[in-house]
């Protein structure tokens, strides 16, 4: 059976691309990126989706009275694709309760720091400014908090002499492109079980 994936994006979409590439090369099987939804009109991620024949939809949050109404529309769109997994790939909004409840333990996010350190925006710069010697990235299930859900995979990178926030971010991004598809593969193969806040591999 094929798992339909929806990817929510806001920007350049390199993590989306890593998923598309892993599917096209056959490293992840029995999945399809069925729709890419962006809250930003000109997000390059939408263009990437179109280039691969994937439905690419812009939903403008500003055209709704509030976040709830916006997310109702997102839910309606997701409902048209029989979605089994939602990926947040550089989606710059906090997902609301209704979406989380509708897709409990079926929403996965990629974050460019070793959670629970450096949650939120500009995580690579936060880590750099803090002076850490090691940083990295985290793939996790999404719960009601911000970057707080059960952790699936983490990968470390060193912070090197002469680094800037940008060089560190680039080193982290390479690892993101490895662990995001890895996590998707584990999920679709049914190998992830959430027990409390811990993810157990089965």
Per-residue mark of binding to ligand GRF, 21-60 (x: CB under 6 A): ------------------------x---------------
State which residue, 72 or 167, has the beta carbon closest to ligand GRF. Answer: 167
| Axis crossing angle, helix 14-24 with helix 165-188, rounded to the nearest 10 | 40
How many residues of this chain interact with ligand GRF, rule: CB under 6 A?
A: 13
Residue nearest to ligand GRF (CB): 90
Contacts to ligand GRF from residues 125-184, by CB under 6 A? 173, 176
- 112 scored as a contact of ligand GRF (CB under 6 A): yes
- How far apart are the C-alpha atoms of 97 and 95, rounded to whole Å? 7
Given CA atoms 158, 159, 162, 163 in this order, what sign does their dihedral have? positive
Position 84 contacts ligand GRF (CB under 6 A): no
DSSP state of 96: P
Q: Assess contact for 112 and 127: CB atoms under 8 A.
A: no
Taking the C-alpha atoms of residue 115 and residue 117, their distance in angstroms, rounded to an integer, is: 4
Please identify every residue annotated as catalytic: 111
Binding site for ligand GRF (CB under 6 A): 11-15, 45, 89-90, 110-112, 173, 176
């Amino acid at each position: 059976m094929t798992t339909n994936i929806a990817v929510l994006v806001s920007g350049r979409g390199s993590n989306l691309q890593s998923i598309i590439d892993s599917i096209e090369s056959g490293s992840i099987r029995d999945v399809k990126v069925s729709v890419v939804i962006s809250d930003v009109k000109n997000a390059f991620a939408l263009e990437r989706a179109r280039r691969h024949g994937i439905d690419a939809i812009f939903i403008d949050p500003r055209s709704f009275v509030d976040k709830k109404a916006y997310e109702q529309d997102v839910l309606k769109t997701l409902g048209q694709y029989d979605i089994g997994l939602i990926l947040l790939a550089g989606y710059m909004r906090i997902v609301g309760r209704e979406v989380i409840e509708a897709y409990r333990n079926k929403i996965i996010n990629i974050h460019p720091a070793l959670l629970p350190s450096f949650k939120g925006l500009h995580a690579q710069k936060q880590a750099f400014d803090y002076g850490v010697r090691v940083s990295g990235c985290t793939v996790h299930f999404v719960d009601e908090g911000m970057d707080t859900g059960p952790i699936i995979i983490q990968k470390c990178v060193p912070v090197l002499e002469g680094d800037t926030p940008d060089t560190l971010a680039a080193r982290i991004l390479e690892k993101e492109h490895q662990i995001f598809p890895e996590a998707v593969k584990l999920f679709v193969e049914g190998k992830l079980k959430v027990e409390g806040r811990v993810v157990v591999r089965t």
